Amino acid sequence: MADEVLYEVRDSVAWITLNRPEARNALNKAARDGVRDAFVRFNGDANAAVAVLTGAGDKAFCAGGDLKEMSDTSLKIPPRDHMVYLGRTLKVDKPVIAAINGLAYAGGFLLAQQVDLVVAADHARFAITEAKVGRGSPWAAPLSWLMPPRVAMEMLMTGDPISAQRAYELGLVNKVVPAEDLVAETQKLASAIAGNAPLSVQAAKAMLYASAEMGWTAALDTGDRIYERVYLSEDGQEGPRAFKEKRKPVWQGK
């Protein structure tokens, strides 16, 4: 894995850190490859139940693509594998949280968009800035599922940032915390999820994303199908048994 991206497991939580603070954690090729490699590693890491994606420093989560690199390479239409897109170019069943430690612009916004939960420092800012530099943001197509369409339209057309508090009010962010508490609060949230039955957690993620493309009845039927594995699992019996025996459940993930 490139030095531009760090990977560390803390109490069942894998912290994936963009490590280019001098460039506002912009995504050059090494960083893009590093993010992809980190999530591949997370997929296979039995010691990590939840991942947290964040940026080094306190100025930027990620400023987006490296415009200097784009200019040097005369990048036109980015290939499909130009950058990892969770759920599209790489399947990640386990939950992923973004800890937004500063600005999340363009490709940085994309990273925040594709995770499952977002915790933001109170000074964080979110923007889709491609219109300001003549680039495209086709990846923003699912935004109308995450926020009101007219707000998404304004962000795409103006390129102007919104505050962490505004993002919270729109439902784009789960929690806004003081900057000095970001790591601790995100670890707390991740640990709470990691302590739950892994198959139940993963089924919840799968069901909600699947339902985004379905009508009411189809979504309910899909939920039944996805959760069938949970009900039939060993963990599906362990939970009620542990409750009856007044002890903490021991999850097997099977």
Average pLDDT estimate for 70-87? 74
Dihedral over Cα of 123, 67, 26, 23: its sign: negative
Structural domains of the chain, with CATH: 5-194 (3.90.226.10), 198-244 (1.10.12)
pTM, two decimal places? 0.94
Give the whole-number percent of the chain exceeding pLDDT 90: 85
Q: Measure the CA–CA gap between 19 and 26, rounded to whole angstroms.
A: 9
> Mean pLDDT in the chain?
93
**pLDDT for 73 beyond 70:** no
Residues 16-39 have pLDDT tens digits of 999 999 999 999 999 999 999 999
Half-sphere exposure of 30 (CA within 13 A, CB side): 11
Average pLDDT estimate for 4-13? 97
pLDDT of residue 1: 52
**Helix segments in the chain, DSSP class H:** 29-43, 67-73, 107-114, 143-146, 149-158, 164-170, 182-194, 198-211, 216-231, 234-244
pLDDT of residue 70: 59
Half-sphere exposure of 10 (CA within 13 A, CB side): 15
Residues 79-92 have pLDDT tens digits of 777 788 999 999 99
CB 21 within 8 A of CB 60: yes
Report the DSSP pairing between strands 125-127 and 162-163.
antiparallel
